Amino acid sequence: MDNLPRIQINDSTLRDGEQAPGVAFTLAERMEIARALESSGVDEIEAGSPAMGAQEIEEIRVIAGSLATARAFAWCRMTRPDVDAALRAGVHCANLSIPVSTIQMQAKLGLAPEQLLARIHDVVSYACDHGLSVAMGGEDASRATSDLLVRAVECAAAAGATKFRFADTLGILDPFRVFDIFTMLRQNLDLALEFHGHDDLGLATANTLAAIRAGATHASVCVLGLGERAGNAALEEVATGIDRLGLGWTGVQLPQLEHLAEVVAAAAQRPIPEGKAIVGTSVFTHESGIHVDGLLKDPLTYEALSPEIFGRSRSIVLGKHSGRTAVRNALEEVGIAASPAQVQLLLVRLRILAQQVKRTISPLELVELYTQNCGALEHPTRSQEVY
């Protein structure tokens, strides 16, 4: 790790994640999520938006006061009243966000470029003068011109900001473009860079990793990719990708990711898809005959990610795509030594049953098939033979 850059993880589940349609966390749920994030080794927790009102301010205050190691951030618009609200929430860090694309600057705020720069300087200076550590957030930075983007960040840095969050607000970028943008930003700016990616094209994780490869020092993420529309870059994917691809080290405890995902899924009332990368129930489950045969010889044949890294274990199940090795192995585990002909017959019966019930077949059901079929061994036809 000494030769790898330290990448800070900023989790926005309690803010951007809760903006997913229909998601509303109670204070108890927000506290549980914050504790799970901190226990997992997350550096920064975006606790909420104090501009929402008195209740939100109080909840942010409670969350921030409960953290021992993680830093609590408030998300604010680039206005003095939002800064004041953040101060009432008792946080020491704030992300001050403002649109930097022409369309959003004009349509949302009616600002010309020079007015934008003046507001950034005024509000960032105001926040820093009141003791806040400030990250400037560039909303819709994907559609900003490079010149204005650099000028805006330089203005924020001169006023005291220590980090710039580049937001791909509409999720329109690809990893190649992200890499080029962050290479340019790294060459022209001398402060911490963070990428905040939305998943409208399914590229949020890839884009985040591309930004890190090009010099980003912070990744803004949400557990399970929760968030508006298609969501955000998933914490569990980004943290694992940084670790396994050798892009840096985060301090995130990979064995804690499954529990963290379960806590957020329960609070959001959104079940984790079985095939969800890293934390899904099926990601270390194998059925295909060719895969199982290889795994039983050497797990590295079909597992680039070892389940042990995440405190989990692999599972071999029986189904339509199983092969003879899986059937023989399952029988041996319950003390049955079947002949090759018996294994072949059982495999045919197993596949028929799996197609009928449209699910995997349990070891008990396999034993029942053995009991029912292995007294009368007919030779399977060539079309039924499986290799």
pLDDT band at 295 (very low <50, low <70, confident <90, very high): confident
Mean pLDDT calculated for residue range 292-311: 85
Whether residue 375 has pLDDT greater than 80: no
Q: Distances in Å between the alpha carbon of 197 and those of 72, 138, 222?
A: 20, 12, 10
Question: Which residue in 327, 380, 317, 320 sits closest to 355, CA to CA?
Answer: 320
pLDDT-derived band at 378 (thresholds 50, 70, 90) equals: very low
* Nearest-angstrom CA–CA distance, 196 and 167: 5
Which position has the higher pLDDT, 50 or 333?
50
Tell me the C-alpha distance between 258 and 279, whole Å. 5
Phi-psi region of 191 (alpha: psi -120 to 50; beta: other; left: phi over 0): beta
Query: How far are the Cα atoms of 32, 89, 325, 327, 361 from residue 317, in angstroms, in the given order?
Result: 34, 51, 12, 9, 7
**Tens-digit pLDDT profile for residues 50-76:** 999 999 999 999 999 999 999 999 999
CA–CA dist 374, 345 (Å, integer): 8
- Biggest CA pair distance of the chain: 87
Q: What is the tens place of the pLDDT at every residue in 120-169?
A: 999 999 999 999 999 999 999 999 999 999 999 999 999 999 999 999 99
If pLDDT is split at 50, 70 and 90, which confidence band does 204 have?
very high
User: Of all residues in the chain, what percent carry a pLDDT higher than 70?
Assistant: 96
Neighbours of 110 (CB within 10 A): 8
Is the pLDDT at 381 greater than 50? The verdict is no
In this predicted structure, what is the pLDDT of residue 329? 87
pLDDT computed for residue 62 by the predictor: 97
What's residue 1's pLDDT? 61
Question: What average pLDDT does this structure show over 38-53?
Answer: 97
pLDDT tens track for 92-124: 999 999 999 999 999 999 999 999 999 999 999
Q: What's the CA gap between 224 and 199, in Å, rounded?
A: 12
pLDDT of residue 2: 65
Is 298 a residue whose pLDDT tops 60? Answer: yes
When pLDDT is averaged across residues 225-253 and rounded to a whole number, the result is 97
* pLDDT range class, residue 322, cuts 50, 70, 90: confident
Is pLDDT larger for residue 23 or for residue 376? 23
Instruction: Give the pLDDT of residue 54.
Output: 97
Comparing 303 with 232, which gets the higher pLDDT? 232
Kindly report the average pLDDT of the chain as a whole number.
93
pLDDT of residue 308: 92
Does residue 376 register a pLDDT over 80? no
Ordered by where they begin, the domains of the chain are: 8-268 (3.20.20.70), 285-384 (no CATH)
